[in-house]
Amino acid sequence: MFETDPRYLGGISKTVEYKGFRFDIGGHRFFSKSAEVEAFWSEILGDDMVDRPRLSRIYYRGQFFQYPLKALEALTKLGIWESVLCVLSYLKARLSPVKDPKSFQDWVTNQFGERLFGIFFKTYTEKVWGMSCKEISADWAAQRIKGLSLWSAIKNALFPPKPTSGADRSKVIKTLIDTFRYPRLGPGMMWERCGELIRDMGGQILMGHRVARLEPHRDGSWSVTARSLSGQETTVHASHVISSTDIRALARMLTPHISTRAGEAARSLRYRDFLTVALIVRDTQHLPDNWIYIHDPNVKVGRVQNFKSWSPELVPDPEMACYGLEYFCFEGDGTWAMADADLIRLAGRELEQIGLAEQKDVVDGYVIRQPKAYPVYDDAYAQHVDQVRDEIAAKFPGLHLVGRNGMHKYNNQDHAMMTSMLTVRNILAGYNRYDVWQVNQDAEYHEAGEVPSEATSGASGLRMVPTRVATEAEQLSNLSRTVSRGAGPSPEVPNPVARQD
């Protein structure tokens, strides 16, 4: 096994350590509707998996709102007049909804009303994706906020569900869960333990090694060559290769064996990146939140993690707190390229501006940059993925794509893990019994040849992420090219997420 990181296993699920403090990159709730995944977590960590209460809030106009919605709190903090306007806006949306909603803004407005869309959805969504909500496809909202509306949120506030555990977890809207399991030393604890088990069974993990070449042989075997940080190359031979690296990088590794057409498709895939500024502060406020969504356009930060509430053992000094301020960006843009010291100062100022701590209480900081955190679903991404996927299936049956970047799917961790588990079953069986591309957002799956219903798999098995709504001019242009070519939709659709260099 080759791991690019010289120190940590787990990719985006690693836990970074700095002076005894541990940072979860992005915040990982261990909650799944898949009994198999839950059983795997229990088997690996046992009593090291602890139950944690879930508390998330939204910061808006200097106020903190619990999420899911607490009706009386929202009424008090928004004010009676604003609350009345929100209800009237919701009723208007229900009586006169946007017909055939195409954008994220249209869909959410239909579900919550225009005013609540502006308060609780617009700013944060645009920070995360670097796109206007008018440009993001309604398909993403329909899946991402599946089962949730203003009425369901109010009903949940007035009639709270019983604590979720065991079989009841499969019936709960994920957005509304109130507890989750969590490794006491962070999610990286899971993968470090897996690494120990692999080594105990005679397996080898080469840390700090980036795969440079994948060479298939006529007998179906592979030579995999990786390069260490010092430039030394190591080659291993295998009958199967499981890849969780991003498809764009994988295509380079296979060159010159992959076709020009598939290589161009792979290079067209895009990613949204982010960085975490972890601030160690004197714990004067004792915040109970796991994380806070920042719906304030006056600050750059999009979300704040409170690591002490994820697990007290992430913070070794009880007098201290540790907050992870998340900044969504593109690799190489102005935010990404800022010096660590400047980012720490920015995060300290914004933490005080939000009201979570005073700058004078910040005693240290650490920056973690996470490239390719979110695969971007632009107008042509599916066609590009299919081109690479079809060629790999036809030419390289011993090469298996898994995980978020390996499949260019915006997966939850249980979803990603299930693709790996089923891939191993396919290899052991000697044929593709399971179609891993049909694992859906709840880590449910189907045997190959079984046609999943749209209700259970979302038609494609994808956990949706934003796609842009094409302008009328682009739609006409695409139609013109399609007619002139006598073929399917043109792959030459503009990328909706422009780099912000």
Give the Cα separation of 380 and 491 in Å (integer): 6
- Predicted confidence (pLDDT) per residue in 319-328, tens digit: 999 999 999 9
pLDDT of amino acid 277:
98
pLDDT-derived band at 47 (thresholds 50, 70, 90) equals: very high
Cα distance between residue 30 and residue 180, in whole Å: 6
Q: How far apart are CA 212 and CA 340, in angstroms?
A: 29
pLDDT tens figures, 66-109: 876 676 777 788 888 988 998 899 999 999 999 988 888 998 89
Number of domains into which the chain is organized: 2
The three-state (H, E, C) secondary structure of 166-211, written as one string: HHHHHHCCHHHCCEEEEECCCCHHHHHHHHHHHHHCCCCCEECEEE
Torsion of Cα atoms, 118 then 121 then 127 then 131, to 10°: -80
Average pLDDT over residues 424-446: 84
Residue 323: domain span:
1-54+178-186+197-204+271-370
Q: Pick the more confident residue, 41 or 498.
A: 41
Q: Are residues 78 and 10 in the same domain?
A: no
Alpha helix (H) ranges present in 57-103? 71-78, 80-95
Among 195-199, 208-212, 254-258, the range scoring the smallest mean pLDDT is 254-258
Q: How far is CA 104 from the centre of its chain?
A: 18
* Residues 6+ positions from 101 with CB-CB distance below 8 Å: 107, 109, 110, 138
Average pLDDT value for residue range 314-341: 96
Q: What confidence tier does 498 reach under pLDDT thresholds 50, 70, 90?
A: very low
Taking the C-alpha atoms of residue 420 and residue 459, their distance in angstroms, rounded to an integer, is: 21
Contact 341, 364 (CB under 8 A): no
Sign of CA dihedral 247, 253, 255, 258: negative
- How would residue 469 be classed by pLDDT, with cut points 50, 70 and 90? low
Tell me how far apart the alpha carbons of residues 442 and 31 are, in angstroms, rounded to a whole number.
10
Looking at the chain, the whole-number percentage of residues with pLDDT higher than 90 is: 59
Provide the pLDDT for residue 74. Answer: 73
Residues 315 and 340 occupy one common structural domain: yes
| 376: in domain | no
> Which of 44-53, 161-170, 371-380 has the weakest average pLDDT?
161-170
**pLDDT score of 488:** 34
Q: Model's pTM, two decimal places?
A: 0.81
Residues 281 and 364 grouped into a single domain: yes
Per-residue model confidence (pLDDT) at position 238: 96
Per the domain annotation, does 95 fall within a domain? yes
* More confident call, 111 vs 147: 111
Domain closes at, from 322, 345, 370: 370
Residue 199: pLDDT band (50, 70, 90) is very high
- Report the mean per-residue pLDDT for the chain: 84
pLDDT of residue 162: 62
Question: Is 120 in a helix, a strand, or coil?
Answer: helix
Note whether 285 and 182 are same-domain residues: yes
Q: Establish if 316 belongs to a structural domain.
A: yes
Domain end position, chosen among 337, 370, 403: 370
Per DSSP, which regions of 358-480 are E strands?
Answer: 362-376, 399-401
**How crowded is the C-beta side of 379, counted as CA atoms within 13 Å?**
18
**CA nearest 51: which of 336, 311, 421, 301?**
311
What's the pLDDT score for residue 486?
41
In-domain check, residue 328: yes
* Amino acid sitting at position 380: A
Give the pLDDT confidence of 365-386 residue by residue, as tens digits. 999 999 999 888 776 888 999 9
More confident of the two residues 339 and 449: 339
Do both 47 and 75 map to the same domain? Answer: no
35 and 141 in one domain?
no
Is the residue at 300 inside a domain? yes
Cα 142 from Cα 361, distance rounded (Å)? 42
Judgement on whether residues 275 and 182 belong to the same structural domain of the protein: yes
Domain assignment present for residue 394? The answer is no
Whether the predicted pLDDT of 113 surpasses 50: yes
- Exposure on the CB side of residue 449, measured as CA atoms within 13 A: 3
Same domain, 182 and 302: yes
Based on the number of CB atoms within 10 Å of its own CB, is 32 exposed (0-12), middle (13-18) or buried (19 or more)? buried
Token couple for 497: 């997420």
Model confidence at 148, in pLDDT bands (50, 70, 90)?
A: low
Burial class from Cβ neighbours inside 10 Å (0-12, 13-18, 19+) for residue 252 reads: middle
Among the listed residues 458, 382, 445, 451, the one whose alpha carbon sits nearest the alpha carbon of residue 146: 458
Q: Is the pLDDT of residue 139 over 80?
A: no
User: Which is more confidently placed, 413 or 441?
Assistant: 413
Of 426, 370, 382, 432, the closest CA to residue 408 belongs to 382
* CB neighbours of residue 463 within 10 Å: 20
Asked, for residue 362, whether it belongs to a domain, the answer is yes
Q: Does residue 182 sit in the same domain as residue 301?
A: yes
Domain match, 13 and 42 both: yes
For residue 243, pLDDT over 80 is answered with yes
pLDDT band at 484 (very low <50, low <70, confident <90, very high): very low
Question: Is the pLDDT score of 454 beyond 80?
Answer: no
Across 299-315, average pLDDT: 97
- CATH code of the domain in which 18 resides: 3.90.660.20
Are 145 and 43 in a shared domain? no
Angle at 178 between CA 307 and CA 75, to 5 degrees: 100
Confidence of residue 465 (pLDDT cuts 50, 70, 90): very low
Q: Which of the four pLDDT bands, split at 50, 70 and 90, describes residue 451?
A: very low
Q: Amino acid identity, residue 370? A: Q
Highest-confidence segment of 121-125, 144-148, 487-491: 121-125
Is 412 contained in some domain?
no
* Residue in 373, 274, 395, 288 with CA at minimum distance from that of residue 329: 274
- Write out pLDDT tens, residues 10-39: 999 999 999 999 999 988 999 888 999 999
Strand pairing category for 21-24 and 15-18: antiparallel
User: Which of 370, 402, 425 is where one domain is finished?
Assistant: 370
153 and 182 share one domain: no
As a whole number, mean pLDDT of residues 309-327 equals: 97
Mean pLDDT of 457-475: 45
User: What is residue 46's predicted lDDT score, i.e. its pLDDT?
Assistant: 96
Q: Higher model confidence: residue 162 or residue 170?
A: 162
Cα–Cα dist 442/33, whole Å: 6
Provide φ and ψ at 383, rounded to 5°. Answer: -65, -40
Distance of alpha carbon 326 from alpha carbon 338, whole angstroms: 14
